[in-house]
Structure formats: C-alpha cells, structure tokens
Amino acid sequence: MSLSTGSSVSAYLKLTLLFAILGGIFVALGFVIGGLELATWFLFFALGLNFIMYFVSDKLVLATTGAKVVSEEEAPRLHAIVSRLASQAGIPKPKVAIVKSPQPNAFATGRNKNNAVVAATTGLLNIMNDDEVEAVLAHEIGHVVHRDMLVSTVAASIATAISYIGQIVMLMVLFGGGGRDRDSGGRSLAALGAAILAPLAATFVQLAISRSREYYADEASAVLTGRPRSLIRALSKIEEMIYRGAPLNTSPSTASLWIANPFRGNGLLELFSTHPSTQNRIRRLEEIAYKMGVPY
C-alpha cells in the first residue's frame, strides 16, 4: 500500500463550498432576526469572516483548544516522533503543540503543509507507549498529507463563530424583550429558533466533511508506521477514556478536528458524532492489516 496525497484543487473546491454554505447560514440568520437589511449586513460580515478565517483559523483553533506550541527542548519525545513521520511522508516538519488535558486525543491544524501544527494532549502522552503515540500522530500527519486541515480548521472556526452569535441572539431575545405586539413577538420567536438551528446546521456541514476523511487518515497511519494494530490499540484506549468521562476543555465546534470525538458517550451527542464509530474504524484497520500481512 502507498500513501496517496490530496489534491489542492479538490481542497480549495471544498473550501469554497464550505464558505458558501456557512456564509448562507449567516445570511439566513440575519434575515430571520432583522429582515433584508440585516441579512445584507450579515452577508458582508460573512465575506469578511471568511477572508479572516482563511488566515487566522489555525490560531483560533489553538486558542480555543488551549494548545501551546512547544520547543524540542520542552517535548523531545513528541518532536522526535513528528520529525520521523514528516520525513517518511515527505512533508516539512509541522510545529508541535501540547494540550494539557487528561483525555488522550490529538489533532492537526494549519492552512497547508508548510503551516501545519500537530497537537497532542498530555493524556495521550501519559497513557500511550511510543508505538501508539506514533500511530496517532501518523493519523494526524495523514490529514496534513491529504490537505484536510484547512477545510476542517475553517469549518471548526466558522462553526464556533456561528455558535457564539447564536448564543448572543438567544440572550438578546430572552432578556432584551421583543416588544408587546404580535409581529415583534413572532419575530423574536423566529430569531430564537434560528439561533438554535444555525449552530446545528453548521454542525451538520462539519459532519459531511469530516467523517470520510478519518478513514483515509487511519489508512495513512497504517502505511506510515507499518503497524495498523498500534492505531487499533490507541483508538481503543482513547474510546475507553472518553466513555469513562476523561474531560477535554474545548468547544464542541472543534470536535471534527480531533482523532476521536471528545464529546461522545451521551445519546443525543452520539447522533451528531463527527467521526465514524470506533468499531467501524477498527474493522477497517483489521482489513488493512490483513492486506499488509501484519501478524497479530
């Protein structure tokens, strides 16, 4: 098996579609709240936000997740693994970041392979052996190689912005009052509904983008390390810790970035999972191990 690279044209087409869809959510939210005039202002806001997000979304993700870029002296084990994997994948070495959290998890962010950051939690580094850490980080390097990070990072950032705006609108409706006449009351009710539905719509866009890419990144990990069962063990440990309630202090809008959804385990949240089930991922990895002739 070989490690395939992603198409930059495909990545930018997805990004354009993403900007259009999430921008449309902003415009629709503005129309429901304040009619055509506010929708026009929200359109300009969405265009400006898209432009800004292209350049700063990775920084926003690092801030939102609490990830801190660390030097080789601060995290020699992590740097050594990332350096080795980047060399094998034929890409520049990404920056390395650490998130202080007991939940084992990891993500990659950045506009392209020249601006990539690979982040791991302290929980991952504490409970995984070197083979398992390497398998997880190889998955993230796979996202870099496949050019997934830009789309996922921008999606997470804009979804975060939509969620915050939705919360502000809800507070305005609930505590600001909507007037006593029937029209004002109806508009306030519509605004409240839009404030609730807009973040859900942004989440569904993330679902459509992220789920299939996880399988490709899992395959990349298997190819880069030659040990697909190391990733199987790592995913099983991560799943167990998440279901046991190991916390990760980050916004739900960043869920699609992590190697495993940090918020799984509760019935309703399971319906909105940004990832394929761990069982399906393990089954695919077992098939890959069989094709590679990797023994148990």
Give the integer Cα–Cα distance in Å for 138 and 106: 11
Q: Which of 134, 140, 214, 219 is catalytic?
A: 140
- Indicate the SS3 state at residue 121: strand
Q: Is 216 exposed, middle or buried (0-12, 13-18, 19+ CB in 10 A)?
A: middle
Give the integer Cα–Cα distance in Å for 23 and 43: 7
Is 140 an active-site residue?
Answer: yes
- Indicate the SS3 state at residue 119: strand
Three-state secondary structure of 21-80: HHHHHHHHHHHHHHHHHHHHHHHHHHHHHHHHHHHHHHHHHHHHHCCEECCCCCCHHHHH
Query: Which residue numbers are catalytic?
Result: 140
